[in-house]
Amino acid sequence: MEARIATLPGDGIGAEVLDESVKILQGIAKTYGHTLSFEDGLIGGCAIDATGTALPEHTLEACRGADGVLLGAVGGPRWADPLAEVRPEEGLLELRQALGLYANLRPVRLYEPLLDASPLRPERLSGVDLVVVRELTGGIYFGPRQEAHKNGGTAFDTMVYTAEEVRRVAHVAFGLAQKRRGKVTSVDKANVLASSRLWRCVVSEVAEEYPDVELEHMLVDAAAMHLLRKPADFDVIVTENMFGDILTDEASMLTGSIGMLPSAWLGEGHGGVFEPIHGSAPDIAGQGVSNPMAAILSGAMLLRYSLGLEAEAQAIERAVEAALDEGYRTPDIHVDGSVLVGSEEMGDVIAERIE
Ligand code: IPM
Ligand code: MG
């Protein structure tokens, strides 16, 4: 197969983790006889420096024309001034909205060799394998907003949902649950928020179309607790934009490190965008010590969801598992007795393990 992939490294460690992901995809292309081409684009802080905007038109066009997009990370202290006119993060938000990618899949899978790397006790973690489906183009991220510094000391953000926005992401969650263990946990704050009460009604309605899937509703504060108390009970979690942002950072620690979590932004009419859920980590950028596994596993998700190459995606996932099994670790997941490697070496180790 022939496919065009847009690569957007962004800021901080974005470029170094993306390099490793591209290396692995090139290895897959060679092994399986595919032709993948890569085109770089600017996004985030580096795009602001070069063009004045976080998502230049040229980048958006490259993404529209690509079969799939691989993204690194954006942001950093240089662009963190709360009074700044443009922010690197706007690049992500605009890209999500422009491409209509409303469903964010964030699989949280514990690789057994990393049981000792998580801050939680191993007996709580065994069997953790869940996916968070985070709504990505609505809610408080996109509702009406007022900045205080422009308007006399009152600021607000608004959480807005239409029934249709809830319905389409609920379908993604139920469809996914059918292929997994058949359970959806819908997370909201229906005891307080009107948008959550709509969310709960619509999700219950959609559930009727999936009699083989069990639905439970959970309040977001309780979900934050149960993620630590009984994480293996979750299968698919579906939730609104900001709740999903927060819960996935929390859930990442079940796997040992946020450097392990890949993600996919999906919608209709575009192949999707794939990115590690970690940020640009300016504190370690340029040192070559970042964990490229989340970016590499995001590449696997691109093969699976944009290109329909399931066997190839699994080959990457197995290679990551093999590297961990053999004890290779970047500093974020390092424990006594493991083999400490940097980003590039980890990429090489994984590349060599692709059958
Ligand atoms: C994420 C990030 C982004 C988000 C930021 C950088 C805008 O935290 O993808 O989880 O909040 O969506
Ligand atoms: Mg986040």
Q: What is the DSSP letter of 137?
A: S
Q: Say if residues 302 and 294 touch (Cβ distance below 8 Å).
A: no
Structure tokens at 327: 């004890």
Q: How far is CA 349 from CA 24, 27, 73, 176, 329, in A?
A: 10, 12, 23, 31, 10
Task: State which of 89, 137, 280 you would mutate to test the pocket of ligand 1, scoring each by most atoms of that ligand within 8 A of its C-beta.
Answer: 89
Q: What is the pTM of this model?
A: 0.96
Q: How far is CA 135 from CA 11, 125, 205, 244, 266, in A?
A: 25, 26, 17, 7, 10
**Domains, the chain, with CATH or none:** 1-105+258-355 (3.40.718.10), 119-254 (3.40.718.10)
Q: Is the pLDDT of residue 46 over 70?
A: yes
Q: What is the pLDDT of residues 192-247, one digit of tens each?
A: 999 999 999 999 999 999 999 999 999 999 999 999 999 999 999 999 999 999 99
pLDDT in the model for residue 151: 65
181 Cα to the center of ligand 2, angstroms: 26
Q: What is the pLDDT of residues 93-104, one digit of tens each?
A: 999 999 999 999
Q: How far is CA 338 from CA 24, 148, 150, in A?
A: 23, 50, 52
Q: Say if residues 275 and 72 touch (Cβ distance below 8 Å).
A: yes
Residue 355's pLDDT band, with cuts at 50, 70 and 90, is confident
Length of the chain: 355
Q: Is the pLDDT of residue 149 over 80?
A: no
**Atom 5 of ligand 1: nearest residue by CA position:** 89
Task: State which of 48, 93, 245 you would mutate to test the pocket of ligand 1, scoring each by most atoms of that ligand within 8 A of its C-beta.
Answer: 245
pLDDT in the model for residue 116: 82
pLDDT in the model for residue 152: 76
pLDDT in the model for residue 222: 98
Residue 150's pLDDT band, with cuts at 50, 70 and 90, is low
Q: Is the pLDDT of residue 347 over 70?
A: yes
